[in-house]
């Protein structure tokens, strides 16, 4: 029999570090609340949803909150409650996700796409003025030669950086427009017009309705979910009724011990309510919201410090009069200083274990808006070339220092190794 080997076992090679684009932060309190919900026997919209609504309204300083199954549902119900109809137009940034414009189409109305600011990527209000004039004169391609009644606007707080609310409000008042905020990225976020002014939270009366997202990668999550907040009781009542088939009583009212079995159909509504299972996650996520925002901010500021000297990158701007939600950390590649394009840059990032994304291909470059409404790249001189330079880096609470360091090292290496 051979003598046993005295050689030490060779430890396995460490797995290469891989950083996801996002990883949700779910605590034991959320898990316990979901279990309690499951054991309670009440799974759909009920007492936990009511609790989540009340707590969220208090968190943003709004009088009313309506919990829904997505921010898309919130946007749709907001525009429906405001009376959006066929033949009307709504200002929508071209630099946004599909939902912002598609809900305008749900109502048979026309999204009027607006270019973006080159630094913040938020809606360019000067271009919005131009688009209003074109729409009302019948010269807007999207209207097919017909004059459009421009009735509202849906600004988006891109990446969690709020727009100048006073400028938005001034534009709306000049043209008699309602405002619905797509605040999917902007919780918790705030702004103030001057150092002497108090902070105003996103949703604190900043528009007719503010719509938030609780998708898996947002600051707080319910898996899927959203919230519409408003100070207008009539709008809140309409959105709540329309979120449950347009019925006169919600399920909690009909099936709880003291509720009535009877109901009436008031309108042809939708099935947009949030479940108690989802709200059970949300109530505890909400308790940690500011802590998670601060953690995101610390990672973002580290990126700003550690990547700020690279001539090949432009980094996000951070105005002093904003509390940034830091949903995203988008960088702009200076392609003239690189020997590779954005797509190659992303391919190399992913090959090195760095998850990333692009926010966004502008709406006017998608076939639906290009072919149906006649939008062209020339009508958006900022957004059209800008999107080809965009890359969003990983940013999430719970991101480890080694993960952030890996992202920074790979980005720096790619910039240095691929200089033009």
pLDDT at position 24 over 80: yes
pLDDT-derived band of residue 63, with 50, 70 and 90 as boundaries?
very high
Contact call for residues 310 and 333 (beta carbons, < 8 A): no
pLDDT-derived band of residue 5, with 50, 70 and 90 as boundaries?
very low
Report how far residue 156's alpha carbon sits from residue 111's, in angstroms, rounded to the nearest whole number. Answer: 14
Q: What is the average pLDDT score of the chain?
A: 94
Measure Cα distances from 75 to 27, 88, 100, 106, 355 in Å: 29, 16, 7, 11, 29
Query: Whose CA is closest to 315, among 296, 301, 325?
Result: 301
pLDDT (0 to 100) of residue 15: 66
Residue with tokens 């890359």: 391
Torsion-angle region of residue 15: left (phi > 0), alpha (psi -120 to 50) or beta? Answer: beta
pLDDT (0 to 100) of residue 337: 98
* Preceding amide of 186 cis, omega within 30: no
**Span 276-286, mean pLDDT?**
98
Report how far residue 113's alpha carbon sits from residue 90's, in angstroms, rounded to the nearest whole number. Answer: 8
Long-range contacts of 202-206 (CB under 8 A, 24+ apart): 202/60, 202/157, 202/162, 202/325, 203/60, 203/61, 203/62, 203/229, 204/60, 204/61, 204/62, 205/61, 205/62, 205/231, 206/165, 206/181
% of the chain surpassing 90 pLDDT: 89
**Span 339-365, mean pLDDT?**
98
131 labelled catalytic: no
pTM strictly above 0.85: yes
Encode pLDDT of 108-158 as tens digits: 999 999 999 999 999 999 999 999 999 999 998 877 778 899 999 999 999
pLDDT (0 to 100) of residue 256: 59
pLDDT at position 324 over 60: yes
pLDDT (0 to 100) of residue 141: 81
Report how far residue 122's alpha carbon sits from residue 92's, in angstroms, rounded to the nearest whole number. Answer: 11
Report how far residue 214's alpha carbon sits from residue 45's, in angstroms, rounded to the nearest whole number. Answer: 16
Q: Identify the weakest region by mean pLDDT among 105-119, 148-162, 249-263, 375-389.
A: 249-263
Overall residue count recorded for the chain in this entry: 420
Helices (H), 107-155: 125-137
pLDDT (0 to 100) of residue 1: 47
Instruction: List the catalytic residue out of 218, 271, 348, 350.
Output: 218
* Preceding amide of 188 cis, omega within 30: yes
pLDDT (0 to 100) of residue 188: 98
Query: Whose CA is closest to 212, among 57, 54, 330?
Result: 57
pLDDT (0 to 100) of residue 255: 54
Q: Which residues contact 130 (CB under 8 A, 6 or more apart)?
A: none
Structure tokens of 310? 């690279």
pLDDT (0 to 100) of residue 100: 98
Residue 245, φ and ψ in degrees, nearest 5 = 65, 10
Residue 126, φ and ψ in degrees, nearest 5 = -70, -40
pLDDT-derived band of residue 6, with 50, 70 and 90 as boundaries?
very low
Contact call for residues 238 and 209 (beta carbons, < 8 A): no
Could you tell me whether strands 209-213 and 178-182 are parallel, antiparallel, or unpaired per DSSP bridges? parallel
Residue with tokens 């918790």: 188
**Span 56-76, mean pLDDT?**
98
Long-range contacts of 126-131 (CB under 8 A, 24+ apart): 128/91, 128/153, 128/171, 129/171, 131/91
pLDDT at position 263 over 90: no
**DSSP character for 193?**
S
pLDDT (0 to 100) of residue 8: 44
More confident residue, 342 or 260: 342
Q: Identify the weakest region by mean pLDDT among 51-60, 191-200, 303-312, 338-347.
A: 191-200
Query: Whose CA is closest to 243, among 419, 48, 45, 62?
Result: 45
């Amino acid at each position: 029999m051979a003598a046993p080997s005295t050689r030490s076992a060779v430890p396995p090679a460490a797995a290469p570090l891989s950083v996801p684009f996002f990883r949700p932060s779910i605590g034991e309190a959320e898990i316990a609340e979901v279990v309690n919900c499951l054991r309670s026997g009440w799974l759909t919209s009920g007492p936990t949803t009511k609790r989540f609504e009340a707590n969220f309204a208090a968190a943003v300083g709004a009088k009313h909150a309506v919990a829904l199954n997505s921010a898309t549902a919130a946007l749709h119900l907001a525009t429906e409650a405001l009376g959006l109809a066929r033949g009307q137009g709504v200002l929508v940034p071209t630099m946004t996700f599909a939902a912002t414009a598609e809900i305008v189409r749900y109502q048979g109305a026309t999204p009027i796409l607006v270019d973006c600011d080159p630094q913040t990527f938020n809606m360019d209000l000067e271009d919005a003025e131009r688009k209003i004039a074109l729409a009302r004169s019948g010269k807007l391609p999207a209207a097919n030669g017909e004059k459009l009644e421009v009735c509202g606007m849906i600004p988006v707080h891109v990446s969690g950086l709020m727009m100048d609310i006073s400028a938005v409000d001034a534009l709306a008042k000049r043209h008699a427009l309602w405002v619905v905020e797509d605040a999917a990225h902007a919780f918790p976020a705030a702004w103030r017009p001057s150092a002497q002014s108090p902070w105003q939270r996103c949703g604190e009366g900043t528009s007719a309705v503010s719509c938030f997202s609780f998708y898996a990668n947002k600051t707080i999550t319910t898996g899927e979910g959203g919230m519409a907040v408003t100070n207008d009781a009539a709008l809140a009542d309409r959105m709540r009724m329309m979120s449950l088939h347009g019925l006169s009583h919600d399920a909690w009212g009909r099936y709880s011990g003291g509720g009535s079995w009877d109901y009436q159909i008031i309108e042809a509504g939708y099935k947009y309510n949030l479940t108690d299972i989802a709200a059970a996650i949300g109530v505890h996520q909400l308790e940690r919201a500011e802590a998670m925002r601060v953690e995101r901010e610390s990672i973002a500021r580290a990126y700003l410090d550690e990547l700020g000297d690279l001539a090949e990158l432009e980094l996000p701007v951070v105005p002093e009069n904003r509390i940034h939600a830091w949903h995203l950390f988008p960088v702009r590649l200076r392609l003239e200083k690189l020997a590779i394009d954005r797509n190659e840059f992303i391919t190399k990032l992913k090959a090195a274990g760095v998850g990333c994304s692009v926010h966004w291909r502008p709406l006017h470059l998608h076939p639906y808006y290009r072919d149906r409404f006649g939008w062209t790249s020339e009508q958006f001189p900022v957004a059209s070339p800008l999107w080809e330079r965009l890359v969003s880096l990983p940013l999430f609470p719970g991101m480890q220092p080694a993960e952030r360091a890996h992202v920074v090292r790979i980005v720096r290496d790619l910039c240095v190794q691929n200089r033009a």
